[in-house]
């Protein structure tokens, strides 16, 4: 693949223009208008929340700190960027536009929100305006036409080569930071200090990361979205689960690894078994394969590990059928990823809208679509020892299918998750995360 960002970006933009033309035709509009978004303030306070750019805007432009700007596209014309550069001596204001995207836009620099509106298409009724209602100016309030949004969001699942390169770069940052975090854990750091080591190695702070880091020692690994960051190391650190990503040009990576403090113990053997199973799941990321089936197959595979490690006494099929596997693996096997860590339109039935339901009994699966070339998905199986889910099992009719002594032995380690970001291609899948770790 040609990795020259300027060339990749040019064809990415051409594809976005093609999609925008098709979406506007479906909705019966002439112009696509996308605000970058505005800054929001805390109620009863003058503090602002971290600004988050409109994902529809950052699909076109790697401008992540540019509130008040607008993109306007009319098929057949060069896209226009109304670029906000406020006159403000309190804050750093955006510098003059620069980057490989600049020659592709007609750029107008404006200094006030009112001035920006002068440069948008006059006939507002002919505009599909995609954005959030809060802070929208009168006259250009977003209408978010469902036909336009559905088309664009459905197609956003299919990444351009430019987008895959941006995700590869995000992954390079994330894997480097994961290595630093593992070293900090092995040196006896607290969760908070591991988090700081991660951010320092990534050169990204919490606002730049695509989601809040999950840095979990011991039992904290059993809290799926544990984000507390303990300030003191525990007396005995047994295990470490880290789910942490990084960003590049607005694109995310999402990576999880689990380690035992003692590389030779049974928990590490269980981690290694999940890791092997996870790699087999990654290999299922093939064009034409139903992601729902990938999730159901993951249950069977994890139930086999539970049986092999003596945690479950019944067959893997019985463990899945009776819901026992769901007590140990209570989330979805993954999701789409790209501009958002949980990419939109995971359930989209078609470019016209509609939804593909989750399989019965699997309420947390975030992706039900059939895989196709260009999709990027996470594959993140896990096994956890979660009291809230184990207690009803222990008290219920399935109690005999489980060896509770074995459960108690693994309980102090919390849980395991292994998560990679995988590109579906016309042939073998491309695992961005394994590639990143191999070069980190």
CB of 69 to ligand GLY, least distance (A): 29
CB of 318 to Mn ion, least distance (A): 29
Judged by CB under 5 A, the residue of 278, 378, 401, 433 near Mn ion is 378
Q: Which of 73, 75, 93 is nearest to 84 (CA)?
A: 93
Q: Which of residues 251-310 bind Mn ion (CB under 5 A)?
A: 254, 256
Output 163 or 254, the one with its CB closest to ligand GLY.
Answer: 254
CB of 335 to Mn ion, least distance (A): 6
**Under 8 Å between Cβ of 127 and 121:** yes
Q: What is the contact mask toward ligand GLY in residues 106 to 135, using x (rule: CB under 6 A)?
A: ------------------------------
Output 246 or 277, the one with its CB closest to ligand GLY.
Answer: 246
Site size for Mn ion (CB under 5 A): 5
Gyration radius from the chain CA atoms:
24
Provide φ and ψ at 394, rounded to 5°. -65, -30
CB of 254 to Mn ion, least distance (A): 4
CB of 341 to ligand GLY, least distance (A): 6
Output 41 or 364, the one with its CB closest to Mn ion.
Answer: 364
Q: Do β-strands 214-217 and 239-248 pair in parallel, antiparallel, or remain unpaired? A: antiparallel
Answer with the entry of Mn ion, ligand GLY, none that 304 interacts with (C-beta below 5 to 8 A by kind): none
**What does each C-alpha distance from 98 to 104, 232, 350 come to in angstroms?**
11, 44, 37
Judged by CB under 6 A, the residue of 165, 191, 243, 421 near ligand GLY is 243
Output 19 or 417, the one with its CB closest to ligand GLY.
Answer: 417
CB of 378 to Mn ion, least distance (A): 4
Output 66 or 299, the one with its CB closest to ligand GLY.
Answer: 299
Distance of CA 175 to the CA centre of its chain: 15
Output 34 or 365, the one with its CB closest to Mn ion.
Answer: 365
Q: Is 254 in the site for ligand GLY (CB under 6 A)?
A: yes
3-state per-residue secondary structure call for 159-200: CCHHHHHHHHHHHHHHHHHHHHHHHHHHCCCCHHHHHHHHHH
CA distance 59 to 348: 19
CA distance 71 to 60: 8
Output 20 or 365, the one with its CB closest to ligand GLY.
Answer: 365
Q: What pairs with residue 32 in β-bridges?
A: 73, 128
Site size for ligand GLY (CB under 6 A): 5
CA distance 50 to 45: 14
Output 31 or 299, the one with its CB closest to ligand GLY.
Answer: 299
Q: Which of 217, 236, 235 is nearest to 226 (CA)?
A: 217
Provide φ and ψ at 413, rounded to 5°. -85, -10
Buried b (16+ CB within 10 A) or exposed e, 38-65: beeeeeeeeeeeeeebbbbbbbbbbbbe
Output 38 or 175, the one with its CB closest to ligand GLY.
Answer: 175
Q: Is 380 in the site for ligand GLY (CB under 6 A)?
A: yes
Q: Is 421 in the site for ligand GLY (CB under 6 A)?
A: no
Q: Which of residues 173-232 bind ligand GLY (CB under 6 A)?
A: 211
Answer with the entry of ligand GLY, Mn ion, none that 191 interacts with (C-beta below 5 to 8 A by kind): none
CB of 177 to ligand GLY, least distance (A): 14
Q: Give the largest CA-CA distance in the chain.
A: 72
Residues in CB range of 431: below 8 A, 6 or more apart: 282, 420, 421, 422, 423
Answer with the entry of Mn ion, ligand GLY, none that 153 interacts with (C-beta below 5 to 8 A by kind): none
**Angle, vertex CA 300, rays to CA 318 and CA 400, nearest 5:** 35
**Beta-carbon count within 10 A of 211 CB:** 17
Q: Which of residues 390-419 bind ligand GLY (CB under 6 A)?
A: 419
CB of 337 to Mn ion, least distance (A): 7
Answer with the entry of Mn ion, ligand GLY, none that 211 interacts with (C-beta below 5 to 8 A by kind): ligand GLY
CA distance 197 to 176: 11
CB of 253 to Mn ion, least distance (A): 9
**Beta-carbon count within 10 A of 206 CB:** 11
Enumerate binding residues for ligand GLY (CB under 6 A).
Answer: 211, 243, 254, 380, 419
Enumerate binding residues for Mn ion (CB under 5 A).
Answer: 243, 254, 256, 378, 419
């Amino acid at each position: 693949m040609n990795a020259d960002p300027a060339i990749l970006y040019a064809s990415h933009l051409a594809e976005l223009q093609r999609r925008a033309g098709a979406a506007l035709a479906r909705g019966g509009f002439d112009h696509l208008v996308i605000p970058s978004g505005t800054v929001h303030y805390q109620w009863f306070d003058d503090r602002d929340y971290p600004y988050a750019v409109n994902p529809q805007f950052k699909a076109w432009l790697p401008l992540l700190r540019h509130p008040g700007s607008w993109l306007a596209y009319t098929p057949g014309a060069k896209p226009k960027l109304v670029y906000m550069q406020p006159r403000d001596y309190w804050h750093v204001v955006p510098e003059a536009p620069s980057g490989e995207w600049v020659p592709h836009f007609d750029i107008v620099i404006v200094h006030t929100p009112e001035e920006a509106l002068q440069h948008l298409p006059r006939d507002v009724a002919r505009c599909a305006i995609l954005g959030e209602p809060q802070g929208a100016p009168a006259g250009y309030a977003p209408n978010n036409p469902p036909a336009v949004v559905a088309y664009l969001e459905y197609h956003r699942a299919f990444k351009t080569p430019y987008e895959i390169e941006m995700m590869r770069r995000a992954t390079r940052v994330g894997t480097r930071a994961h290595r630093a975090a593992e070293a900090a854990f092995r040196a006896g750091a607290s969760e908070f200090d591991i988090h700081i080591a991660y951010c320092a190695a990534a050169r990204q702070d919490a606002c730049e990361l695509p989601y809040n880091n999950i840095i979990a020692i011991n039992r904290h690994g059993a809290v799926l979205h544990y984000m507390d960051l303990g300030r003191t190391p525990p007396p005995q650190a047994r295990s470490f689960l880290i789910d942490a990503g990084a960003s590049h040009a607005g694109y995310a990576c999402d990576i999880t690894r689990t380690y035992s403090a003692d590389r030779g113990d049974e928990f590490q053997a269980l981690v290694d078994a999940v890791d092997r199973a996870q790699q087999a799941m990654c290999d299922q990321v093939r064009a034409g394969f139903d992601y729902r089936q990938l999730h159901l197959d993951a249950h069977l595979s994890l139930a086999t590990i539970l049986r092999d490690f003596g945690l479950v006494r019944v067959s893997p099929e019985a463990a899945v059928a009776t819901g026992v596997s769901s007590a140990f693996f209570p989330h979805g096997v993954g999701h789409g990823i790209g501009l958002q860590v949980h990419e939109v339109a995971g359930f989209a039935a078609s470019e016209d809208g509609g939804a593909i339901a989750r399989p019965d009994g699997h309420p947390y699966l975030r992706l039900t679509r059939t895989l196709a070339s260009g999709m990027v998905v996470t594959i993140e199986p896990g096994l956890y020892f979660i009291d809230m889910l184990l207690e009803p099992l222990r008290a219920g009719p399935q109690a005999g299918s489980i060896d509770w002594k074995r459960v108690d032995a693994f309980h102090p380690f919390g849980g395991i998750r292994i998560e990679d970001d995988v590109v579906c291609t016309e042939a073998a899948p491309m695992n961005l995360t394994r590639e990143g770790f191999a070069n980190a």
